Amino acid sequence: MEEIHSQNQKSEPDPLSASKIIGLTGGIGSGKTTVAKFIENCGFPVYYSDDRAKEIVNDNDDLKSKIKELLGEESYLQNGLYNRKFVAEKVFNDKELLQQLNEIIHPAVRIDFEEWVNKQTQYLIFKETALLFELKLNKQCYQSILVTAEDNIRIKRVMDRDGKTYREVQSVMEKQMPEREKIKIADFVIYNNTGLDDLKDQTEKIIFEIE
């Protein structure tokens, strides 16, 4: 089932586009990517912020230089690709360093997103990002959708998917904004505790209800 938080004031649509930008987010193991695919199947475009960020850090020479300056030459492999494992370990327990890294990457992603928005023609377009609320990107969206699930379900999904231990997944979750806080902020909440059919039904119902 979904919850609609009418007390949250809607943001105005982004002036860059006549389309209404809908933010889509969810913590690790929530199933937000699956929901994004359902949205695409309904005919609406989705911008995958996290995937684009992974591409941009490999393609943008200016970013490469700044990241190397911040984290060292090891932040890129000998083949020139972003050393994701090294960087993740470097910033995992260092909030200040993580913030500095985000301040390098996120402006480039924002520009890329703006260019993508200008190419869209649908009346609803979706921005998928793990940090929608943490970075207050929901303020730039007309409405927001949160995908969530019970902690143990999320942990098991990630363990099965990535081969991580229970404690490793739990450690990542502890560093993310608590689900109860995100639920209060989101305009719509999808609870992904059952199966794909229910997840699809919730997704389609919310798309229909977005004003």
For 116-160, write each residue's pLDDT tens digit: 999 999 999 999 999 999 989 999 999 999 999 999 999 999 999
Alpha-carbon dihedral sign for residues 164, 170, 173, 174: negative
Residues whose CB falls within 8 Å of the CB of residue 141, separated by 6 or more in sequence, listed in order = 11, 14, 21, 22, 23, 127, 132
Q: 165 CB contacts (<8 Å, ≥6 apart)?
A: 159
Q: What is the pTM of this model?
A: 0.86
Rounded mean pLDDT of the chain?
Answer: 90
Supply 140's token pair: 């730039």
